[in-house]
A and B are shown apart, each in its own frame.
Chain A
Amino acid sequence: MVKLKEALESCLEEFFLPGNSCCAGCGLEIALRWAMKALGPNTALVSPASCLNVVVGLWPKTAPNFPFTNMAFAAAAAAATGMSAAFKTKDYRFPGKVWGEMTTLVFAGDGGTTDIGIQGLSGAAERNSDFIYCCYDNEAYMNTGIQRSSSTPHGAITTTTTLGKERYKKNLPRIMAAHEIPYVATCSVSEPLDLYEKFKKAKSIEGCKYIHILASCPPGWGIASEDSIEIPRLAVKTGSWILYEIENGELTLSKKSKPLLDPTKRAPLIEYLSRQKRFSKISEKVLIELQERLDLQWSKIADELSCQENHH
């Protein structure tokens, strides 16, 4: 993995500039800054309705220092397909210019990805459209005031699940992997170097790449701004958020998650949940159930990895 010092030295250039209107401790801002450091200036971004539409600044101020377009809520993946197609046809007419080097990037929230945008995203993935689709997942509709999405975890309080959400979080990275696209990865804003490397790798791959980032939201999660790195780090440490890559169907656990195959290395889930107000209504019974589900999920991953190994 790239060293922090090395990354900081090679990534002095900023593409998401100061003066944007992100909340203090916004996970999205960290995710976009580091993603853009990895991708560089020859990147054009499609942003469907989400916090990102707003935090970039009100007209005529703009924080992104690269080509950027706002887009309708359900339309991000299709728009990115069109943008990518336009770069290809421009590369045909004007060969040897920047058009063949362009990376098309979507940055969408969990609502725009797991709910309203999933049809367009699934279509683009099946077509293997050439772009990187990134979901920054803060686990609810934060832009419109913390309503539940299909990515909101079980037990979380939102303004539309006032007693805690009954259903479970939709596992979108696995749904994307089921489309047999060349690259799927999960990231956390608490692990920027891991995120940086995954975006670098995605940029080098032709076809549809999907990266799902756990992005903390202090007001939405009920955490202090200064804890917006610590809390997603706990999500990783407890094994609640698993960092991995699926390259051409093959699963690899990332550095911070791999040791957690050993259950004794995993911090208890309660350490992650108890630090957030959104989980304040979870009962002991539900907590036990959630821990059991998580342990089962890890057992399945261990099975999958050993199955892969046997196959080789």
Chain B
Amino acid sequence: MVEATNDFVQEKETIVIKGNVSAAYAAKSARVQVISAYPITPQTTVVEKLSEFVDNGLMPGTQYIKVESEHSVMASIIAASKAGTRTFTATAGQGLFYMFEMLHWASGSRLPIVTTIASRGAAPPWNIWADFTDVISCRDTGWMTAFCATHQEIYDEILMSYKICEDSDVLLPKFVAYGGFILSHTSKPVIIEDQDLVDSFLPPLPDEKGWPHIWFDPERPLMFGNLIMPSGFYYEFRMKIHDAMVRAKEKIKRVAKDFEKIFGRNYGNGLTQEYKMDGADVGMVIYGDLALQMEQAVDDLREEGYKVGMIKLRHLRPFPVEDIIEIAKKVPLLGVVDRATAFGSPTGGPVSCEVKTALHEVKGTARILPMINGLGGREVTLEQQKVQLKMLIKLNETGELPKDMLYGTLWDGLLEVK
């Protein structure tokens, strides 16, 4: 048992913890001042661990609100953030859907809220296993969205996210998403960084005056969010959210560089992370926990003499258009793997649609093979991913498409229906 102190204390240590616990440690390392949460599988151990920290006096001054629903989670976090405090919450699947209304209130108020999502499938039927349809359904709410592939990346990405979100040129909320159970409930070694080092990396907590654009202060009484006529600045405010989000790409890159300099861990350029793309004939765009296993599949095929590579997509919003174009100029064919659905869209997979849109009308870029797999936590094996890479090679060499495509997309790993 660690003794309570009047300051946050953390020495650098490597501990074997669940992905959710890694998220809780990151919130503690970031010295979050207000936490509000409602339990939902598979996020629960995040809020349990934070309760343990707060109850044991390890987060002095932090207010932890245990609300009665996710709608109230985001409402309370928004008000706390508006008042000029660093805030944190975590949710998943149905809970994220339930807080949907409030997501726009957060981005519209330009609040630097960080929220982790232990992604799970959407009901019905009930599903609690890895599927990014939950967070990707919130694509257009004005939240930045990052995907994590490892337990360490959850911790690291949360720290980076506070630095990005609180940049006065950005001031937008952000999701940090990772696969439910696959990362949330498995244990791996994670480096928890020294508190002083984290403090030197992150911006200081907001001062008494709070954020530069929003506050509740009797000395500066102002009203926020009142009705605005169509001739007012509503339209311009929306344009500015888009502008801030696109410009956040440069901030994300800079923060990833700073992070590597201080902590020694590399996450590509922050937006994307290439793996063995040099000299590759084909490449696979992939995100979340399946990216980690895909690295192994690439390694195995490289050993067999196949020239394959992959690109881990780290951010869906802002979308790394320039990186995708650059990569798509290196190879003639890219597979794009979604663990999520966009029903009725051009490909059925949300990220493959994004990639295709990014490459539209850009000459000399790769053909795209959209793939969907692993929905609702369906297992995707290493062997399966190797076959996916081989399909790409075959298509590239012979022009032969995989069998059983559905409207131009490979739905890999479906059960056989008799």
List of A residues within 8 angstroms of B78 by Cβ = 75, 79, 82
Residues of A within 8 A of B76 (CB): 78-79, 81-82, 85
- The interface residues of chain A lying within 8 Å CB-to-CB of B63 are 85-86, 88-89
A86 to B239, CA, bound (A): 30
The answer on a CB contact under 8 Å between A78 and B71 is yes
- Give chain B residues whose Cβ lies under 8 Å from the Cβ of A54: 227
Residues of B within 8 A of A71 (CB): 75, 79, 105, 225
In the complex, whether B392 has a CB less than 8 A from a CB of chain A is no
A44, A69, A74 interface centre (most CB from chain B within 10 Å):
A69
CB distance from B206 to the nearest CB of A (A): 9
Residue ID in chain B nearest A93 by CB atoms: B61
Chain B interface: which size bin?
Answer: 35 or more
Can you list, as one digit per residue, whether each of A67-85 has a CB less than 8 Å from chain B (1) or not (0)? 1111110111111111101
User: Does the CB pair A120–B75 fall under 8 Å?
Assistant: yes
A74, B71: Cβ atoms under 8 Å? yes
- What is the CB-to-nearest-CB distance from B40 to chain A, in angstroms, rounded to a whole number? 16
Interface membership of chain A positions 116-134, coded 1 if the CB is closer than 8 angstroms to chain B and 0 otherwise: 0001101100110100000
Could you say which residues of chain A place their CB within 8 Å of the CB of B66?
127
Binary flags per residue of B32-62, CB closer than 8 Å to A gives 1, else 0 = 0110100000000000000000000000111
Whether B208 lies near A94 (C-beta < 8 A) is yes
Is A90 within 8 A of B208, CB to CB?
A: yes
B366 on the A face (CB < 8 A) = no
Do A65 and B221 have beta carbons less than 8 Å apart?
yes
Interface residue tally on A, bucketed by range: 35 or more
A41-B218, A89-B63 as given contacts; A123 in contact with B227, CB under 8 Å: no
Within 8 Å by CB of B226, from A70, A83, A120, lies A70
A-side contacts of B85, CB under 8 Å = 86, 89-90
B293 contacts A by Cβ under 8 Å: no
A58 close to B (CB within 8 Å): yes
Bound together, the chains give a CA A57 to CA B102 distance in angstroms of 23
**Complex contacts, B217 vs chain A, CB 8 Å:** 67, 98
The answer to the question of A168 belonging to the interface, with a C-beta cut-off of 8 Å to chain B, is no
6 pairs of residues in contact across A and B, judged by CB atoms under 8 Å: A67-B218, A67-B223, A72-B101, A82-B34, A82-B75, A87-B83
- List the 7 closest pairs (A to B, CB-CB), nearest first: A123-B68, A82-B76, A78-B72, A86-B83, A75-B75, A70-B225, A82-B79
Interface residue ranges, A against B (CB under 8 Å) = 41-44, 46, 53-54, 56-60, 62, 64-72, 74-83, 85-90, 92-94, 97-98, 102, 119-120, 122-123, 126-127, 129
